[in-house]
A and B are shown apart, each in its own frame.
Chain A
Amino acid sequence: MGQVVLKGINKFFDSVHAVKDVNLQIRDKEFVVFVGPSGCGKTTTLRMIAGLEAISSGDISIDGNVVNELAPMDRDIAMVFQNYALYPHMSVYDNMAFGLKMRKFEKSEIDKRVLEAADILGIGELLKRRPRQLSGGQRQRVALGRAIVRHPRVFLFDEPLSNLDAKLRVQMRVELKKLHLRLGTTAIYVTHDQVEAMTLGDRVVVMKDGVVQQVGEPLELYNQPANKFVAGFIGSPAMNFAAVTVTEANGSLIAENSGLRIKLPDETAQRLRGHIGREVMLGVRPEDLTVAGSVDLGHPCFDAVIEVVEQLGSEILLDMKVGESIMVASIEPTARVRVGDKLRVAMRPSRLHVFDAQTEGAI
């Protein structure tokens, strides 16, 4: 079992309010990812769960027991650190066995567990080496091995992949996912990389300035972001935003600004009835923009001038000037476009997002 409940967690560093009233229920066997820009309080929250940081107010419970006052060693958790924190003076075997030795396990049991973990992670040949003789990826595996030999109730990961190069990071990400499926231990994972969050998490917690912005499954965050921050943070390239004023003409709603004038689709218009005459933030993802064909599908369209063309092979990213602002579109790799071209760009009507200009919450 490994159910973790955070109830009204706050953390102050002197006068800085680093974590603000976090409430979260993490189910047994769940993989939860905390994601957000640096300084958003995600690592602090993780460290509070680990017991490395005292809680200013609130309760953390693991399997129903409040652990606020428990020392890290008594919480039955294992943690993987960003810099791996391998003990440099011990062999790989001793690194992995350390936690078990501290807990006075039988020698045979330690041996069995270390070999088993080494087998899972494919580091059986490295057991006699010292950490400094290992590559980054191997160190990462040893750090993972040290966590899994303990069979803890909860795994905590603090940006474990950020010290690896891009290729290895992708590979380790897949392995982590497999490992979680195999072990089924509850995992709490902190990262600033939204791709890691989306691919690894059963649920993702987006944080900013110590406040939880949204908790949800990856696609839920992508499709229904709760506010402008989540919309801009999740997805790559980031969502395009345009400040527009909503007006009514001939019974339909129009959103316009200096370079943009589009008729809002009915579904969006419904939600904006109360905002006529006011400014709202329109959001559309690059992948929901297409080059408008000759056939008019009735999609909202606007004119744009191409400023930069980025060929990625699988897609083309266009940086376009729309009125005064820049928008990015991701289009078919077969499209023939050049810098300076004037384009008519269409938006998928069902994929339009609108946010309140003041509160930035989704409308």
Chain B
Amino acid sequence: MIEGARWRKWIFFYVPMALFLLFLLFPFYWMVITSVRPDGELYRPWNSINYNPFWTWKPTWDHVSYLFEETLFASWLWNTTFIALASTAISLVCGVFAGYALSRLNFPFAGSLGTGIFITYLVPQTLLFIPLAEIIRNYRLGDTPWSLILTYPTFLIPFCTWLMMGYFKAVPKELEECARIDGASRWQAMLYIVIPVAIPGILSAGIFAFTLSWNEFIYALVFLSSPEQKTVPVGVTSELIRGDVFYWGPLMAGALLGSIPVAIAYSFFVEHYVAGLTGSVKG
């Protein structure tokens, strides 16, 4: 071992790592601690003697029960789950097929079509919601989950398509050729060989798409109006900020409970997901 390597490791690895972790995890800690502190502590002025924002000796479930009893949080949770799952499913199916076609079938303008799809992803939602609102109104979808399930794919499909295109390109062409010599049709080769091999990529695309639609704010804010139809991000912010009064306890409890499903989805698929990002399909 080289002289001084130990303290070097501390300075250049552990300390920056710890700072980084602190930076990333502090918001979660703040969420957790705020959601269990009683109101008396939360609204105590900063110059009072027993002011301590980082800890509590009297944790309470009041905010969580308020969330479930006094607001429609349970239905928001259900709405968000349903909308996120449905729009992810639609986008994945379209993205996988489109990605496969764009990366594997040699048809005229395949390249420019791929770029075109990517460009649609770059159109900001803050612009796109205006024409989309018109469409939603014309089809009388306003204030229903379908207004989001059908509009989220406008940004999810380009995203999934691009992710899958990259992934399919990394799957060796010979696998498919071999399957076709073995007697599989193009369709069968895709179904039995290419898609199973691309599962890590599909999972990554799915997790990303799920997260994007779970956290989506603008469309949900514009297209949904009645409280019982809202999603978690919109519901929490619109129902727990009344005028200039912030219900910090329930707000943070809602934010915490809203981020748990995403955290579970991530950690559950993390192995596949990392493999998907690094694109390791070597036999």
What residues of chain A have their CB less than 8 Å away from a CB belonging to chain B? 50-52, 71-73, 77-79, 81-89, 98-99, 102-103, 131-132, 139, 146, 150
Say if the beta carbon of B282 comes within 8 Å of chain A. yes
Contacts of B199 in A (CB 8 A): 89
The 8 A-B pairs at the shortest CB distance, nearest first, are namely A99-B182, A102-B183, A85-B174, A88-B283, A85-B178, A131-B283, A73-B183, A81-B174
Contact A87 B179 (CB under 8 A): yes
| CA gap between A83 and B180 in the complex, in Å | 16
Say if the beta carbon of B175 comes within 8 Å of chain A. yes
Q: How far is the CB of B147 from chain A (nearest CB, A)?
A: 39
Contacts of B181 in A (CB 8 A): 50-52, 72-73, 77-79, 99
Between A and B, 13 residue pairs with Cβ closer than 8 Å are: A52-B181, A73-B181, A79-B181, A83-B283, A84-B283, A85-B177, A87-B193, A87-B197, A88-B281, A99-B182, A102-B179, A102-B184, A102-B188
Chain A proximity mask over B181-219: 1 for CB below 8 Å, otherwise 0: 111110010001100110100000000000000000000
Contacts of A102 in B (CB 8 A): 179, 182-184, 188
Looking at chain B, what size class is its interface with the partner chain?
Answer: 20 to 34
Q: A-B contact count, CB below 8 Å?
A: 71
Contacts of A81 in B (CB 8 A): 174, 177-178
Q: A79 — nearest CB in chain B belongs to which residue?
A: B181
Say if the beta carbon of B172 comes within 8 Å of chain A. yes
Contact B172 A99 (CB under 8 A): no
What residues of chain B have their CB less than 8 Å away from a CB belonging to chain A? 172, 174-175, 177-185, 188, 192-193, 196-197, 199, 281-283
> CB < 8 Å: which of A50, A79, A98, A139 contacts B283?
A139
Contact A150 B182 (CB under 8 A): yes
| CA gap between A88 and B179 in the complex, in Å | 12
> A87-B193, A102-B188 known; A146 and B182 CB under 8 Å?
yes
Interface centre among A83, A132, A150 (most CB of B within 10 A): A83
Q: How far is the CB of B272 from chain A (nearest CB, A)?
A: 13
| CA gap between A99 and B179 in the complex, in Å | 7
Contact A132 B283 (CB under 8 A): yes
Contact A73 B197 (CB under 8 A): no
> A52-B177, A102-B188 known; A86 and B182 CB under 8 Å?
no
Interface centre among A52, A84, A87, A98 (most CB of B within 10 A): A87
Contact A99 B183 (CB under 8 A): yes
Contacts of A71 in B (CB 8 A): 180, 185
Q: B182 — nearest CB in chain A belongs to which residue?
A: A99
Q: B192 — nearest CB in chain A belongs to which residue?
A: A98
Q: B171 — nearest CB in chain A belongs to which residue?
A: A88
| CA gap between A79 and B178 in the complex, in Å | 7
| CA gap between A50 and B183 in the complex, in Å | 12
Contacts of A78 in B (CB 8 A): 181-182
> CB < 8 Å: which of B180, B184, B282 contacts A88?
B282
Q: How far is the CB of B118 from chain A (nearest CB, A)?
A: 26
Q: B183 — nearest CB in chain A belongs to which residue?
A: A102
Contact B185 A73 (CB under 8 A): yes
Contact A72 B180 (CB under 8 A): yes
| CA gap between A114 and B183 in the complex, in Å | 16
Contacts of A146 in B (CB 8 A): 178, 182
Q: How far is the CB of A114 from chain B (nearest CB, A)?
A: 13
Q: How far is the CB of B187 from chain A (nearest CB, A)?
A: 12
Interface centre among A51, A102, A103 (most CB of B within 10 A): A102
| CA gap between A79 and B174 in the complex, in Å | 10
Contact A72 B172 (CB under 8 A): no
Contact B197 A103 (CB under 8 A): no
Contacts of B188 in A (CB 8 A): 102
Besides A85-B283, A103-B183, 18 other A-B contacts (C-beta < 8 A): A52-B177, A71-B185, A72-B177, A78-B182, A79-B178, A81-B174, A83-B174, A85-B178, A86-B283, A87-B175, A87-B193, A88-B281, A88-B283, A89-B197, A98-B179, A98-B192, A99-B182, A150-B182
| CA gap between A78 and B175 in the complex, in Å | 13
Q: How far is the CB of A282 from chain B (nearest CB, A)?
A: 44
> A73-B185, A146-B182 known; A132 and B177 CB under 8 Å?
no
Contacts of A50 in B (CB 8 A): 177, 181
Contact A83 B179 (CB under 8 A): no
| CA gap between A139 and B182 in the complex, in Å | 17
> A81-B174, A139-B283 known; A88 and B183 CB under 8 Å?
no
> CB < 8 Å: which of A73, A86, A103, A131 contacts B180?
A73
> CB < 8 Å: which of A84, A89, A98, A131 contacts B182?
A98
| CA gap between A51 and B197 in the complex, in Å | 24
| CA gap between A126 and B181 in the complex, in Å | 24
Contacts of B282 in A (CB 8 A): 88, 132
| CA gap between A150 and B185 in the complex, in Å | 17
| CA gap between A81 and B172 in the complex, in Å | 11
Q: B176 — nearest CB in chain A belongs to which residue?
A: A85
Contacts of B193 in A (CB 8 A): 87
Contact A89 B196 (CB under 8 A): yes
Q: How far is the CB of A133 from chain B (nearest CB, A)?
A: 10
Contact A73 B283 (CB under 8 A): no
Q: How far is the CB of A12 from chain B (nearest CB, A)?
A: 15
Q: A152 — nearest CB in chain B belongs to which residue?
A: B181
Interface centre among A52, A131, A139 (most CB of B within 10 A): A52
Q: How far is the CB of B183 from chain A (nearest CB, A)?
A: 4
Contact B281 A73 (CB under 8 A): no
